Amino acid sequence: MAVAFVQEFPIEDRSTANYDAVVQRLGNETPEGALLHTAGFDDDAGVFRIFDVWESREHAERFMKERLQPILDELMQGRSELRPPTREAWYELHDIATA
């Protein structure tokens, strides 16, 4: 079953340098099981939100453990100003429509 994964970070500034550094290290290859990735500022909620759709939670967790977390660990080393998300949530999707 397809799942959504949401992360939210409080807007402290409008720089996307940290996000961009992660994306650059990940490269252009679409991870196995990834269906959709979005990232942007939600000014009404006061957050920078990352919203992903995956074929399954297992695909997402494998990507996070094997590819994403090592990059985050490297980038966060010695940088106390980097904060984890204030919200992380998973939910199963009832429907996915494409335009």
Say whether pLDDT at 31 is over 80. yes
Cβ neighbour number for residue 47 with a 10 Å cutoff: 19
For 35, list phi and psi in degrees, rounded to 5. Answer: -110, -35
Q: Mean pLDDT over residues 71-98, rounded?
A: 89
In the block, tokens 């984890």 appear at 84
Q: Where are the domains of the chain?
A: 3-92
Query: Which residue, 33, 40, 94, 87, is CA-closest to 64?
Result: 33
pTM for this predicted structure: 0.91
- Over range 72-97, report the average pLDDT: 89
**CATH class of this structure's domain 3-92:** alpha beta
